[in-house]
Amino acid sequence: MNIFVAKLNYRTTSESLAELFSQYGEVVSAKVIMDKDTGRSKGYAFVEMGSEDAAVAAIAGLNETQFEGQTIVCKKAEPRPQAPRRDNNFKPRDRRY
């Protein structure tokens, strides 16, 4: 199960986040989201746990707790909505004014 973690300290690393969540079970991955332009953390991350039970326990245990000086928010990550497919062969009609 994938967990969305928000309100992170900008200095939080993926490694420290993985270590925090590992007390609830196997952490498959932990990724702090970085801004492409500045290279600075955006203040949120995604943590994937090995089992749903571990993820539920982590959310219950860590939501609204202090981590590296910030009160973090943890909740189940929602899948990204599918964007409509673009038709690259679209040809606009000939408009006459």
Structural domains of the chain, with CATH: 2-76 (3.30.70.330)
Task: Express each pLDDT in 49-70 by its tens digit.
Answer: 999 999 999 999 999 999 999 9
Q: What is the DSSP letter of 20?
A: H
Residue located via tokens 């690259």: 88
Position 94 scores a pLDDT of: 60
pTM of the full predicted structure?
Answer: 0.81
HSE toward the beta carbon, residue 35, CA cutoff 13 A: 8
CA dihedral for 43, 48, 49, 51, sign (positive or negative)? positive
Cα(41)–Cα(5) distance, integer angstroms: 13
Task: Express each pLDDT in 6-25 by its tens digit.
Answer: 999 999 999 999 999 999 99
Position 74 scores a pLDDT of: 98
Residue by residue, DSSP assigns 52-82 as: HHHHHHHHHHHTT-EETTEE-EEEEPPPPPP
Whether residue 62 contacts residue 21, with contact meaning beta carbons closer than 8 Å, is answered with: yes
